[in-house]
Chains A and B, each alone.
Chain A
């Protein structure tokens, strides 16, 4: 019992972690990658928060006559981590906006094609000086 049903919070964590990770890896759209990243980070948050609970413990606000409280520290830690996650998401989205302005797309493979095309376009500049090109290759 305590191995499967009792540990359901860990199953949620694992599911979210793998789902998020999968989205990051498999999706080509940059915004979706960020979403996957958020999912991934959320799983870590749930890991922390869920372990804070002490069975039989009170909410961690001081009440007369209670000795056992749930641990408030993980909540505090995760607040910090959520702030970090939000900042990361914000920076990620800001970069996506700039990518959209520059490339006019947020699909990873299209960006790759545009970059490769630009590289190929640079080639003719090299070929204007075939003599030097040959010498460079010696």
Chain B
């Protein structure tokens, strides 16, 4: 128990310490990068150790403060939280490696500020993962918006400022108007905000009220990018590629769907959710978002924008699973958090690598660059296959469970939407390697231009992990099963 608590504290403090220490290394970039890498590896070790040593039947409780009577700032992870924490811890060192290569080659300014707020965002995401009650989760959810804001507006350009305003406006607006209201209201009704297996609402709560609360919770979690509150995601693509990759394909958006899953499983209870008509409405809204986002992605020429809309669609897969609230769909959603993360981060890494090597940002310009950067595009293809949901990649398992969930709950329209979107994913994702390898460049032929660099290493690692997760999903399955057991 003691060890678990120490490890939890470490998970929170290590990235925070890195963030505080980095400004002191401003003058020596190599040392600064070393600190980041070292910190991220320590974090990964701590997360792995926590996973090994934690006892889910008797979870450790860490209370930092009690701002409101009965509602402490409590950290008490469940399997879902540990999974999220492991995910972020695994991807931080890899992204740091990528960022080192990318930021230097791209000659970005203000790099210390970048790494600083990056580490801070990781710390806050860990706090979200380890939250033991809704108040703690809400507090760090808000802080994540603030911590990532300087990263989104890193470029400092007019466009970045506009994007920042939209980002902040949508995320903070929805979280204050809806999520905070839902949190306080739930506290008022239930008397507690601690995550519990059967939900916190007393059995005699007015179901109309529960419906309203569910709507408030879901629309308040705009980080999950459910339409119509999805506009911030494409806008945030103005950030540098490492930011888009880790934060907007992994940390921020996954924090959003993680919040939703926690709310559904531990605040409402999955048995109660399936009784609410609001959940059906939201499931259909998610289904609509999936198809609409995929259609919009088809029309996007900018690579990052296309990937952004792909992310929106993929997130709605998870929301769909959460709203259907059957055992399979919840397992599928939880799994999708991880599998999509690996796939998407690879795709974003590749987009950045394409930008570095060829200075191209548009899909229509990519004809024939396969000759220049074959390895990058191979990895892109493999990651795309994972995102589409084809074997032998991790993405297939989570899609499988989700489709199973829709069939189980009899919502065949949603099954159709899942399958249609897979088809659309295939088209808009595979267009890129198709153009790169099979179309000809009209101008002079290009030579192989892919030296071994940190960011290439990073891309390779994540692609490998996509494959690995399919072949040996032990850790993932273990956690998923624990989540299922707890339901």
- Is A138 an interface residue, CB under 8 A from the partner? yes
- Is B161 an interface residue, CB under 8 A from the partner? yes
- Is B162 an interface residue, CB under 8 A from the partner? yes
Q: How far is the CA of A138 from the CA of B158 in the complex (A)?
A: 7
| Residues of A with C-beta under 8 A to B158 | 135, 138
Render A122-138 as a binary contact track against B, CB cut-off 8 A, 1 for contact.
00000000000001001
| Residues of B with C-beta under 8 A to A138 | 158, 161-162
Chain B: minimal CB distance from A119 (Å)? 28
Q: How far is the CA of A135 from the CA of B158 in the complex (A)?
A: 8
Q: How far is the CA of A135 from the CA of B156 in the complex (A)?
A: 12
25-40 of chain A: CB within 8 A of chain B: none
For the side of the interface on B, what is the size category?
Answer: under 10
| Residues of B with C-beta under 8 A to A135 | 158
Q: How far is the CA of A85 from the CA of B158 in the complex (A)?
A: 57
| Residues of A with C-beta under 8 A to B162 | 138
Considering the complex, give the chain B residue whose CB is closest to the CB of A138. B158
Q: How far is the CA of A138 from the CA of B162 in the complex (A)?
A: 8
83-138 of chain A: CB within 8 A of chain B: 135, 138
Q: How far is the CA of A135 from the CA of B161 in the complex (A)?
A: 11
Render B161-197 as a binary contact track against A, CB cut-off 8 A, 1 for contact.
1100000000000000000000000000000000000
432-449 of chain B: CB within 8 A of chain A: none
Q: How far is the CA of A135 from the CA of B159 in the complex (A)?
A: 11
128-160 of chain B: CB within 8 A of chain A: 158
Q: How far is the CA of A138 from the CA of B156 in the complex (A)?
A: 13
Chain A: minimal CB distance from B227 (Å)? 27
Considering the complex, give the chain A residue whose CB is closest to the CB of B162. A138
Chain A: minimal CB distance from B481 (Å)? 52
Chain A: minimal CB distance from B168 (Å)? 16
Chain B: minimal CB distance from A138 (Å)? 5
315-345 of chain B: CB within 8 A of chain A: none
Chain B: minimal CB distance from A131 (Å)? 12
Chain A: minimal CB distance from B345 (Å)? 32
Q: How far is the CA of A4 from the CA of B161 in the complex (A)?
A: 71
193-224 of chain B: CB within 8 A of chain A: none
Considering the complex, give the chain B residue whose CB is closest to the CB of A135. B158
| Residues of A with C-beta under 8 A to B161 | 138
Chain B: minimal CB distance from A37 (Å)? 44
Q: How far is the CA of A74 from the CA of B158 in the complex (A)?
A: 68
Considering the complex, give the chain A residue whose CB is closest to the CB of B158. A138
Considering the complex, give the chain A residue whose CB is closest to the CB of B159. A138
Considering the complex, give the chain A residue whose CB is closest to the CB of B161. A138
Q: How far is the CA of A135 from the CA of B157 in the complex (A)?
A: 10
Chain A: minimal CB distance from B160 (Å)? 11
Chain A: minimal CB distance from B159 (Å)? 9
Q: How far is the CA of A138 from the CA of B160 in the complex (A)?
A: 11
Chain B: minimal CB distance from A64 (Å)? 67
Q: How far is the CA of A75 from the CA of B87 in the complex (A)?
A: 81
Considering the complex, give the chain B residue whose CB is closest to the CB of A134. B158
Q: How far is the CA of A116 from the CA of B362 in the complex (A)?
A: 53
Q: How far is the CA of A19 from the CA of B162 in the complex (A)?
A: 56
Chain B: minimal CB distance from A137 (Å)? 11
Chain B: minimal CB distance from A134 (Å)? 10
Chain B: minimal CB distance from A132 (Å)? 12
Q: How far is the CA of A28 from the CA of B191 in the complex (A)?
A: 59
55-77 of chain A: CB within 8 A of chain B: none
Chain B: minimal CB distance from A45 (Å)? 51
Q: How far is the CA of A138 from the CA of B161 in the complex (A)?
A: 9
Q: How far is the CA of A45 from the CA of B158 in the complex (A)?
A: 63
Render B64-99 as a binary contact track against A, CB cut-off 8 A, 1 for contact.
000000000000000000000000000000000000
Chain A: minimal CB distance from B306 (Å)? 27
Q: How far is the CA of A135 from the CA of B162 in the complex (A)?
A: 12
Chain B: minimal CB distance from A7 (Å)? 53
Chain B: minimal CB distance from A114 (Å)? 38
- List the interface of chain B (C-beta within 8 A of A): 158, 161-162
Please list the 4 inter-chain residue pairs (A to B) with the smallest Cβ-Cβ separation, ordered nearest first.
Answer: A138-B158, A135-B158, A138-B161, A138-B162
A-B contacts, 4 of them at CB < 8 A, read A135-B158, A138-B158, A138-B161, A138-B162
- List the interface of chain A (C-beta within 8 A of B): 135, 138
